[in-house]
Amino acid sequence: MKNKYILSMLFCSVLGLTSCVDVLDKTDLGAASPEVVAGDSVLSNVALSYIYNQNLPDWGGASSISGFGGSTYSEESYNQGSTENRLLEGTLLLTDVGDFGTALSATNNYGKIRTINSFIYDLSVDKKMDIGAKNRLISQALFFRSWRYFELVKLYGGVPMITAPQYAVGIEAREATFVGRNTTTECYNQMVADLDTAIKYLPGTWSSPSTNWGRITKGAAAALKGRILLYAASPQFNPSDVTSKWQTSYNANKQAYDILTANGAKLFADYGKLWFTEVSNTEAVFVTGYNTSTGDQQRRNSGWESGNRPKYSTVSGGGGNLPSWDMVKAYPMKDGKAAGDATSKYAYSDQTFYKNRDPRFDKTIAFNGCTWNMTNVPNNRLWTYFVSGKSIENAGANASNTGFYCRKALQTTDVASSTLDFSNTAYSGTDWIEIRFAEVLLNLAESATGIGKLDEAYTQLKVVRARAGIDAGTDGMYGLKANMSRAEMFNAILTERQIEFAFEGKRFWDLRRWRLLESVLNGKKGSKVVISLKTTGVPADFATTRDALTLDDVYTKYLTVTVTENALMTRPAIKYSPTYYFFPIPTGAINNNPKIVQNNTWGGAFEPLQ
């Protein structure tokens, strides 16, 4: 969002007062006392802004502390580094997953929860504030409390549910803060209760969209509730496939769908450009705003733009999230059938892997020879092929390890704002959409499948595929197999999520909640393509004329395509452990609190399935 980040801690922008600097000098807005905010909804909003700023998710959907969830933990790109990664190698230690919090800190999960609880308590005892304003403020804080607890529960199972600020002054008070773990079911119940309150009191839409962009709505609360209960119904938490859990998930996701559609939510027309319409984006449900500020107190720049562009000096790229060949092959053809499916009307060949693919392919994967207006050069072509064993990309320096780049949500000349400097993309303001309406549709489809409503699952899948641009076909099935079984539909939805949410931090968590990490990823290092210029039959002026050639001519006449294991990944093959479906409570947390019991898959007695 360009220079309009509403959740800033810049007090002046909230109050519009000349004396605001003095207030900032005297008051820690992250812990504003009840005496300061009592009865004052403006000051309370400033304190709430601190909660937003602490808890909004970052770009890519990875956990803000452990980093789990990014593309390196799935087949999207695999981990291509050479340093040890105990999670991938199956050697995770009791001290490795630190999100639980092992020290007194305002920035770990429980430090953030304490701030939220203090805010809720202070407002709840405030007798001066208008009740409607108070309920809306508390409801937003409750949303983020659910968000924080969900991040913990999906890692460990049940955790201590602290819903009021704790004060540990003196030995007895300190011992009173030692709280054992609630059951996983109790945690889910509390998160749902908090979100039900938020749904009750929050508006469907906020007035003044330009100043309230990113503020939590009734629909966002319902969508998070739907996501949380989908996890509760998934095999990670529901290995016995209890139908009532799927029914609860279905009810929640249907509620989210109904609330959102009643308030104008729908899929954005252009999948490739949905990230670049910010205020009033109909697909954005839960959003983190960024800006292009370069130095003032409102500065919050997105690292996605600079982190994913190629490492060319002219575009300030970091070359991150490089798509693997496995990810490239996962995309269906334009008729929705899998690549190589004999029933597809589009023939597939590794030599021309780019032809007639699901339109989301071109909007997500940048490949050798594609047109990519990533600079101010119209019709810019990306070339990553090899000549005599050396990549021609950037003279062989900092070339892609896989032959591909991720270009999802990267600005190009046709979508960039006038303020984006392509030579300094570190100041990108592209917003992160943590929950898109497309996810609500697919969450509903999956929940419907869980209770046997396959017709409803088909409906939502078709809507998502239609927006993508997949051919409807004469049967109107968008490439989907007719009369799928429940198991087949579950698999179709997971595959759809893999494509729709590629590089959005969803794939690792989907595989984990479905207990598929081992069967899908173990034994793999990831594969890549090496595209080489032929040694004979190539025009002498190829390097200067290639941009004018058709892609098919380039690939069929002058290039060879070889699929190989990504040898740059020098670590052992992936070896996810079955114990990873619930991570261990860190040893430090157990040492700090004698009432914390370790998970039963890590030597303790706590059952995370209860």
- Tell me: the pLDDT tens digits for 474-506? 999 999 999 999 999 999 999 999 999 999 999
Is 576:90 a contact under the CB 8 Å cutoff?
yes
CATH code assigned at 251? 1.25.40.390
Task: Provide the residue range defining the domain that includes 599.
Answer: 86-202+583-610
Locate tokens 């609360």: which residue?
221
Q: How far apart are CA 386 and CA 447, in angstroms?
A: 47
Instruction: Tell which residue, 493, 465, 467, has the closest CA to residue 479.
Output: 465
Radius of gyration of the chain (CA): 25
On whether both 241 and 97 belong to a single domain, the answer is: no
- Residue 28 counted as domain residue: no
Is 7 a residue whose pLDDT tops 50? Answer: no
Q: In this predicted model, what pLDDT tens digit does every residue of 511-541 receive, in sequence order?
A: 999 999 999 999 888 888 999 999 999 999 9
397 or 423, higher pLDDT: 397
On whether both 218 and 192 belong to a single domain, the answer is: no
CA torsion sign, 369 to 371 to 372 to 376? positive
Which residues are CB-contacts of 113 (< 8 A; sequence separation ≥ 6)? 145, 148, 149, 162
Burial class (CB in 10 A: 0-12, 13-18, 19+), 573: middle
**Helix (H/G/I), strand (E/B), else coil: 255:** helix
Instruction: Give residue 568's pLDDT.
Output: 55
Q: How far apart are CA 80 and CA 326, in angstroms?
A: 14
On whether both 408 and 540 belong to a single domain, the answer is: yes
Least confident among 206-220, 314-328, 476-490: 314-328
539 or 591, higher pLDDT: 539
- Residue 51 counted as domain residue: no
pTM of structure: 0.92
Which residues are CB-contacts of 528 (< 8 A; sequence separation ≥ 6)? 324, 325, 401, 402, 403, 404, 563, 564, 565, 566
**pLDDT band at residue 66 under the 50/70/90 scheme:** low
- Residue 192 counted as domain residue: yes
- Residue 65 counted as domain residue: no
Cα 149 off chain centre by: 17
**DSSP track, 307-329:** HHS-S-TTTT----SPPPHHHHH
Instruction: Give residue 69's pLDDT.
Output: 78
On whether both 407 and 492 belong to a single domain, the answer is: no
Q: How far apart are CA 384 and CA 328, in angstroms?
A: 16
- Residue 320 counted as domain residue: yes
Instruction: Give residue 209's pLDDT.
Output: 86
Q: Looking at 238-329, which runs of residues are DSSP E strands?
A: 284-288
On whether both 328 and 467 belong to a single domain, the answer is: no
On whether both 186 and 105 belong to a single domain, the answer is: yes
**pLDDT band at residue 2 under the 50/70/90 scheme:** very low
On whether both 346 and 383 belong to a single domain, the answer is: yes
Q: How far apart are CA 482 and CA 502, in angstroms?
A: 25
Instruction: Give residue 9's pLDDT.
Output: 35
> Strands 527-533, 559-565: parallel, antiparallel or unpaired by DSSP?
antiparallel
Q: How far apart are CA 523 and CA 535, in angstroms?
A: 35
Instruction: Give residue 4's pLDDT.
Output: 34
Domains contained in the chain, number: 3
On whether both 363 and 450 belong to a single domain, the answer is: no
On whether both 405 and 448 belong to a single domain, the answer is: no
Locate tokens 């104008």: which residue?
264
On whether both 191 and 255 belong to a single domain, the answer is: no
Mean pLDDT rounded to a whole number for the chain = 87
- Residue 25 counted as domain residue: no
Instruction: Give residue 420's pLDDT.
Output: 66
Angle between helices 454-468 and 437-450 (to 10 degrees): 150
Q: Could you tell me the two tokens for 368? A: 């050798």
CATH code assigned at 141? 1.25.40.890
What are the strands of the beta sheet with 390-391, ordered from one edge?
A: 390-391, 386-387, 527-533, 559-565
**DSSP track, 28-39:** -GGG--HHHHTT
Is 173:188 a contact under the CB 8 Å cutoff?
no
On whether both 535 and 478 belong to a single domain, the answer is: no
- Residue 212 counted as domain residue: yes
Is 520:511 a contact under the CB 8 Å cutoff?
yes
Residue 55's H or E segment, with its range, is: helix 41-55
Is 195 a residue whose pLDDT tops 80? Answer: yes
On whether both 534 and 422 belong to a single domain, the answer is: yes
Q: In this predicted model, what pLDDT tens digit does every residue of 81-103 receive, in sequence order?
A: 667 788 888 888 888 887 776 66
Q: What percentage of the chain carries pLDDT values higher than 90?
A: 64
564-567 CB contacts, 8 Å cutoff, 24+ apart: 564/527, 564/528, 564/529, 564/530, 565/525, 565/526, 565/527, 565/528, 566/78, 566/80, 566/324, 566/401, 566/402, 566/525, 566/526, 566/527, 566/528
- Residue 144 counted as domain residue: yes
Q: In this predicted model, what pLDDT tens digit does every residue of 29-41 receive, in sequence order?
A: 444 455 555 566 7
Is 375 a residue whose pLDDT tops 90? Answer: no
Q: How far apart are CA 99 and CA 559, in angstroms?
A: 48
Average pLDDT value for residue range 144-160: 96
Q: In this predicted model, what pLDDT tens digit does every residue of 423-467 receive, in sequence order?
A: 778 888 899 999 999 999 999 999 999 999 999 999 999 999 999
Q: In this predicted model, what pLDDT tens digit does every residue of 231-251 receive, in sequence order?
A: 999 999 999 999 999 999 999
Q: How far apart are CA 21 and CA 29, in angstroms?
A: 12
Cα 317 off chain centre by: 21
